[in-house]
Amino acid sequence: MHSSTEAHQPKPSSYPRYINKEMSLLEFNRRVLAQAKKPSIPLLERLKYLCISSSNMDEFVEVRLARLYELSRDLGALTTPDAQDPKEVIKNLLQAAKNIVEDQYHTLNNILIPELEKERIHFLRRNHWTEQHNQWITQFFSESLQPVLSAVGLDPSHPFPRVLNKSLNFIVSLEGKDAFGRSNGLAIVPVPRSLPRVIKLPPEATEGENDFVFLSSILHANVSRLFPGMTVTGCYQFRVTRNTNLVIDEEEVEDLMSALRGELSGRQYGGSIRLEVADNCPRNIINYLLDRFQLDEDALFQVNGPVNLHRLNAVPDMANRSDLLFPPYAPKKMNTKRKSKNPFKLLKRQDTETLFDKIRAKDILLHHPYDAFTPVIDFLQQAATDPNVLAIRMTLYRTGENSKIIKALERAAQNGKEVTAVVELRARFDEDNNIIQAMRLQDAGVHVVYGVVGYKTHAKMILVIRREGDKIQRYTHLGTGNYHHITSRFYTDFGLLTANPEIGNDASKIFQQLTSLGDTKNLDVLLQSPFTLRTSMIEKIQREAENARQGKPARIIAKMNGLEEVTIIDALYEASQSGVKIDLIVRGICSLRPGVPGVSDNITVTSIIGRFLEHHRIYYFLNTGGQAELYGSSADWMRRNLWARVETCFPVIDPDCFQQVYEEGLAVYLNDNTGAWLLQPDGSYRQKQDNLPPFNAQQALIDTYTRTKQK
């Protein structure tokens, strides 16, 4: 007998052909939040996952949801790839988002805080403050908070202030009159971002070693001090999330950097999308805030706790409880191919063999974060000082602050090398930093360009041109991830260092495209968006389908961050119907619907959530009758990557590197049964369960690299 819920679920064959990509993204955030509930994960790491899920939700609202609101103003427009009415999609997304947010606060209040208390880590509520607590907190407010807080009374001469995107604010209801006889009754207290949202009490203020108070609690307890002579009748926190999408007509602007800097100054005041308020906020004040921000009821999120959970990410460091964190892992500082005779190792001062000699002898594969990012920096630093190096060319999408990469490029230019940097100014939320880095490079004499109008440069490439005797040798680094020294510690990515002449020649052609004019699309081995990558992937998928139809073995394994490009999905559906076994490892968005009878029976979609952020893009094709093919890429199978970005996709040719990428980038994840989630035909995910012993792919790689490091 079926439940009423089961009875109303559609049959698999009646599911829409594609999953809505925004709803799929929310499903990813559910999986992240689920990590915060896992007893097998160290407790403070679980708190970090909660913070990540909160940050993810912020970005979802200010980018994805904001874009749908923009689309909904276009009459007749439909979402892609699922072709739905944007207004209906927004309604469904808001409800799903509210469910996730409610789950976030339930996880904090009912799971994490009680378990933290068992470990003597306390978040002290106001009604539990002792006299000792109160004395210190009152002094802290007077000395550290009150001088930087500016309460704004609301009256005709003090209009409602401009509220920054995602900033913490309090709306205060008052009785009485101020020094000028005014009695409007409402005030706003904006809280500067420089103030911590969680304060650890010092030993003189408390008995516990890890006692914390929320900034909001301190302000609630002392807010009356901001309004002397008046009576505070209510104080309620709120936060507004705004549209942070930048709108720049690149065809019309003469200077992209100047135009972008102008847009960035207004990003914090974009259109309102969401209002978060404390759940004890009275209805009349909620209505007042909704009206001020021109939002309807659907945009209201009432929360039981601090309105920005992401700021709790400061607690693990302040708590100083390493026993409640993942054991530290130091990346391996040499190439990690266990069974090969790969000669690469970090150069020592007395080593006369250059890194270029090592690369020329054999391709070098780096698997981050298990391998250190240091060799990539060494590659550039040696190029900067090597008298035989003539030129360095590099794409920069994200680098981070105080980047050794930037310093190496500056030094190379100062040493007289011809240095070209293709800096993508429009890397989301890194625009400010990229502008600063571009200006630094220009000041050092680096030739800086910003790519191609209308196309983000997302490729990850370094090309070093070196004179060796009477010939020119090209050395290339190609990667699946950014040249960012911080994210390389917790993003999984492959990087290939090679002296392969065909790869070097193709990289040179791509840099020529990016820095000058001319039609140089004829590449030998690299695939490139927006020209050959999509069509080549489809051809390889179709080749597997044809092999299956002929009764030959056929196999596709692909790992990526997102999949929603329709022509790729359709090709995979066709291949599945032809009998190709297809395993997709997709961390985030997936619009392909697996396991639908007659459509995608032979396709499985696995999402891995773990200690590190899965970031590889790897594409494997069995290619029966020929040599199996394996590619690393900067591109996901997303429309933006395949149509609107400059991307590269490189073959892994060296047999040892091929085997390592296959084993460590694909096979190990298909065996994971602890961090793996399986996409269902209805678009939901369930954790993978089998009768095999527990196996965690990331931990297995950590263990393997740790063993080889100790040898």
Is the pLDDT at 351 greater than 90, yes or no? no
The span from the CA of 135 to the CA of 166, in Å, is 31
Q: Which residues pair with 200 in a beta bridge?
A: 212
Tell me whether residue 100 is in a domain. Answer: no
Give the lowest-confidence range in 13-27, 60-74, 361-375, 393-407: 393-407
Instruction: Give the pLDDT score at 533.
Output: 97
Does 201 share its domain with 243? yes
Q: Are residues 366 and 246 in the same domain?
A: no
Last residue of one domain, picked from the residues 324, 345, 365 = 324
Contact 384, 674 (CB under 8 A): no
**Residues making up the chain, counted from first to last:** 711
For tokens 């035989």, name the residue.
Answer: 388
3 state DSSP class of 390? strand
Average the pLDDT over 543-567 and give the result: 97
57 in a domain, yes or no?
A: no
The verdict on residue 553 lying in a domain is: yes
Mean pLDDT, the chain, integer: 90
| 605 & 675 share domain | yes
Indicate whether 369 pLDDT > 90.
Answer: yes
Pseudo-torsion of CA 509, 514, 516, 518, nearest 10°? 60
Predicted pLDDT of residue 615 = 97
Residue 350: its pLDDT value, please?
Answer: 44
β pairing state of 613-614 and 603-608: unpaired
Q: How far apart, in whole angstroms, are the C-alpha atoms of residue 200 and residue 433?
A: 31
Q: Is the pLDDT of residue 24 over 50?
A: yes
Residues 6+ apart with CB under 8 A from 240: 163, 165, 166, 167, 169, 272, 274, 275, 276, 293
The candidate with the shortest Cα–Cα distance to 601, out of 578, 617, 623, is 578
Predicted pLDDT of residue 517: 67
- In this predicted structure, the answer to whether residue 311 has a pLDDT above a threshold of 60 is yes
Taking only the tens place, the pLDDT of each residue in 153-184 is: 887 556 788 899 999 999 999 988 766 566 67
Give burial (CB, 10 Å; 0-12/13-18/19+) of 249: exposed
Would residue 55 count as lying in a domain? no
Question: For residues 636 and 560, is the Cβ–Cβ distance under 8 A?
Answer: yes
Which of these three, 508, 524, 540, is where a domain ends?
524
- Judged by average pLDDT, the poorest of 100-104, 697-701, 707-711 is 707-711
- Whether residue 506 is found in the same domain as residue 566: no
Per-residue pLDDT averaged across 579-584, rounded?
A: 98
Q: What is the CATH number of the domain that holds 412?
A: 3.30.870.10
Give me the active site residues, please.
458
Residue predicted with more confidence, 515 or 50: 50
Q: Is the same domain home to 378 and 516?
A: yes
- Asked whether residue 671 falls in the same domain as residue 614, the answer is yes
How many CA atoms are closer than 13 Å to the CA of 185, on its beta-carbon side?
Answer: 3
330 part of a folded domain = no
Domain stop point among 484, 504, 524: 524
* Preceding amide of 501 cis, omega within 30: no
Q: What is the reported pLDDT for 157? A: 58
Least confident of 142-156, 259-273, 516-530: 259-273
Domain that holds residue 268: 124-324
Q: Which tops the pLDDT comparison, 434 or 508?
A: 508
Q: Is position 147 within any domain?
A: yes
Give the CA distances from residue 392 to residues 34, 380, 388, 414, 436, in Å, rounded to whole numbers and listed in that order.
Answer: 45, 8, 12, 12, 20
Q: Environment class of residue 295 by beta-carbon count within 10 Å: exposed (0-12), middle (13-18) or buried (19+)?
A: middle
H/E stretch holding 479 reads: strand 471-479
Label residue 549 exposed, middle or buried (CB < 10 Å: 0-12, 13-18, 19+).
middle
Calculate the CA dihedral of residues 213, 214, 220, 225 and round it to 10 degrees: 70
Overall number of domains in the chain: 3
Residue 454: per-residue pLDDT: 82
Extract the tokens encoding 205.
């203020």
Query: Residue 260's pLDDT is what?
Result: 46
pLDDT of residue 155: 73
Tell whether the model's pLDDT for residue 563 goes beyond 90: yes
Residue 260 in any domain: the answer is: yes
**Residue 657 is assigned to a structural domain of this protein:** yes
Helix %, strand %, coil % for the chain, to 5? 40, 20, 40
Q: Is 563 helix (H, G, I), strand (E, B) or coil?
A: strand
Cα angle vertex 442, ends 441, 445, to 5°? 90
**pLDDT (0 to 100) of residue 93:** 97
Evaluated on CA atoms 69, 74, 76, 81, the torsion sign reads negative
Q: Of 74-83, 264-273, 298-307, 353-362, which gets the smallest average pLDDT?
A: 264-273
> Which residue, among 508, 448, 433, has the nearest Cα to 476 in the 3D structure?
508
Contact 292, 163 (CB under 8 A): no
CA gap 77, 284 in Å, rounded: 36
Q: In this structure, are 142 and 285 located in the same domain? A: yes
- Is residue 72 over pLDDT 80? yes
Task: Dump pLDDT digits (tens) for 455-481.
Answer: 889 999 999 999 999 999 999 999 999
Q: What is the pLDDT of residues 631-648, one digit of tens each?
A: 999 999 999 999 999 999
Residue 479 in contact with residue 635, Cβ under 8 Å?
no
Residue 303 structure tokens: 């929360």
Query: Which CATH number belongs to the domain containing residue 244 in this structure?
Result: 3.30.1840.10
CA 313 to CA 112: how far, in whole Å?
A: 13
Q: How far is 269 from 164, CA to CA, in rounded Å?
A: 6
Residues 6 or more apart whose CB falls under 8 angstroms from that of 224 comprise 230, 231, 232
Are 382 and 482 in the same domain? yes
Q: How confident is the model at residue 13 (pLDDT cuts 50, 70, 90)?
A: low
pLDDT computed for residue 341 by the predictor: 40
**pLDDT (0 to 100) of residue 393:** 97
Residues 563 and 500 in one domain: no
CA–CA separation, 647 and 468 (whole Å):
30
> Nearest 5 degrees, angle CA 206-CA 211-CA 213?
105
pLDDT value of residue 3: 40
Note whether 290 and 437 are same-domain residues.
no
- Considering the domain architecture, whether residues 244 and 381 belong to the same structural domain is answered as no
Whether the per-residue pLDDT at 249 is higher than 80: the answer is no
- In the prediction, which pLDDT does 398 show? 80
**pLDDT at residue 669 tops 80:** yes
How confident is residue 433, by pLDDT bands cut at 50, 70 and 90? confident
- Judged against a pLDDT cut of 60, whether residue 342 lies above it is answered with no
pLDDT digits (tens, 9 = 90+) for 93-107: 999 999 999 999 999
**Residue 490: C-alpha distances to residues 22, 133, 311, 625, 702 (Å):** 25, 38, 20, 38, 12
Residues 260, 361, single domain; the answer is: no
Q: What is the mean pLDDT of residues 27-42?
A: 97
Residue 672 phi, psi (nearest 5): -65, 130
**pLDDT at residue 423 in the model:** 87
| Contact predicate 143/222, CB 8 Å | no
* pLDDT at position 339 over 70: no
Q: What pLDDT, in 10s, does the model give residues 376-392?
A: 999 999 999 999 999 99
Alpha-carbon 633 to chain mean position: 17
For residue range 586-621, what is the model confidence (pLDDT) as tens digits? Answer: 999 999 999 999 999 999 999 999 999 999 999 999
Q: Is the pLDDT of residue 261 over 60?
A: no
User: At a CB cut-off of 8 Å and minimum separation 6, what does 568 contact?
Assistant: 534, 537, 538, 541, 637, 642
Nearest to 560 by CA among 615, 622, 508, 520: 615
Nearest Cα to Cα of residue 22 among 76, 63, 75, 77: 63
